[in-house]
Structure 1
Amino acid sequence: METIFTTENLYNLLSGRIPSAFNRALLNQFKANGINLTKEQWSILAVLWKKDGCSQQVLADETYRDKPSITRLIDHLEKEGLAERRPDKKDRRLNLIFLTEQGRSLEEGAMKVVDQTVNSAVRDIDPEVIQLVRDTFIRIYNNLETKK
């Protein structure tokens, strides 16, 4: 395949250089705004803000994490008083994860910071270019997922 990118440049792009920079910026903005969350905690809370009372498996699927990672993150969210496990009334083998009032109260501030960080990251980039990049990354993701 002929490309204007070197293999090293493509690897850096695909392996997380941009996500790492974004995550670092997001963490810095959380701290600057007095929001005591990690990017990982925020990713779990963001799912719960949309689907409160979901299973750990849903959280794992939605955040692309394995079950042990989700378990540790939920343990920490419980310790911080942001979420709680409750037995599923239909299947007592399952725990459902619910936000606490404190966890719910973080949504507006955290999402405002996320929106500001995203807007800062894409400033001065034409929306059509952003759409092209989005579509390209979706195709790359789908190419990798179909190889499994």
Structure 2
Amino acid sequence: MGPEKAGVRKRSSKGAQRRPPVAKPPRSAPRAAAAAKPVRPKLLASDDLSHSLGYRIRRAQLWVFKDVSRRLAAFDISAAQFSVLSVIEANPGVNQLAIAQSLSIERAGLGRLVDHLERRGLVQRSASAINRRYYVLYLTQAGAALLDRLRPAIAESEKTLAAKIGPRAFKELQRALSVFLEDV
């Protein structure tokens, strides 16, 4: 098979002139459709999904997660990092495996998360005196101070949710969902 058939063209050096590149419009050029105010797309769901309790719980979880994430962003911390800091504060000297199991986080993901918290000076990690295969974790003073500053943001998120669904429904929801606290 010759080079032409393989999709490769031979260059001819005799009298070949290069064409100037074609100018493309800049990406920031306004488009006619962009002039209109963006419309939020309507939620697409089937009757099966919208009537499913699991789907409704997932939608609620997404709403809560978005609200919490927005509030914690001011502190440059994620909801998962907040959870890890809270578990470490309540269980000083806890090992990473226990945290991973408690929060249903993969061990590798938790390791990266703890690395980040340690680099920020929020968590101290040291080898366990009982089992050298494990690391145990403690909050630093900076970690405890940050956690104290994060709690009001979490409380505000809870207040917003209570206002959205009503205080009575909020208490009932907390009670109903508490049966899952022990399931891992």
Q: Same fold (TM over 0.5)?
A: yes
After superposition, the C-alpha distances for 1:3-40 in whole angstroms (9 at most, x for unaligned) are xxx430224223x2211221111121123xx4120111
AA in 2 matched with 1:102: A
The residue aligned with 2:59 is 17
Unaligned runs of 5+ in 1: 1-5
Aligned residues with identical type, % of pairs: 19
Report how far residue 138 of structure 1 moved.
4.6
The residue aligned with 2:29 is none
- Given candidates 149, 153, 156, the residue that maps to 1:116 is 156
**Correspondences of 1:1-148 after superposition (within 5 Å):** 6-9=47-50, 10=52, 11-14=54-57, 16-31=58-73, 34-123=74-163, 125-138=165-178, 141=180
Structure 1 runs of 4+ aligned residues shifted over 3 Å read 124-128, 134-139
SS in 2 for 1:93: coil
SS in 2 for 1:96: strand
AA in 1 matched with 2:172: L
Which protein, 1 or 2, shows the higher relative CO under an 8 Å CA cutoff with sep ≥ 6? Answer: 1
After superposition, the C-alpha distances for 1:77-124 in whole angstroms (9 at most, x for unaligned) are 112211121111122121101112211111211011101111111126
Q: Which one has a larger percent helix, Structure 1 or Structure 2?
A: 1
> Over alpha carbons, which structure has the higher Rg?
2
TM-score (normalizing by structure 2): 0.64
CA distance in 2, matches of 1:7, 1:29: 33
The residue aligned with 2:18 is none
Number of aligned residues: 135
TM-score (normalizing by structure 1): 0.78
CA distance in 1, matches of 2:157, 2:171: 18
Contact (CA 8 Å) 1:81, 1:103: kept in 2 or not? yes
CA distance in 1, matches of 2:95, 2:112: 14
Unaligned runs of 5+ in 2: 1-46
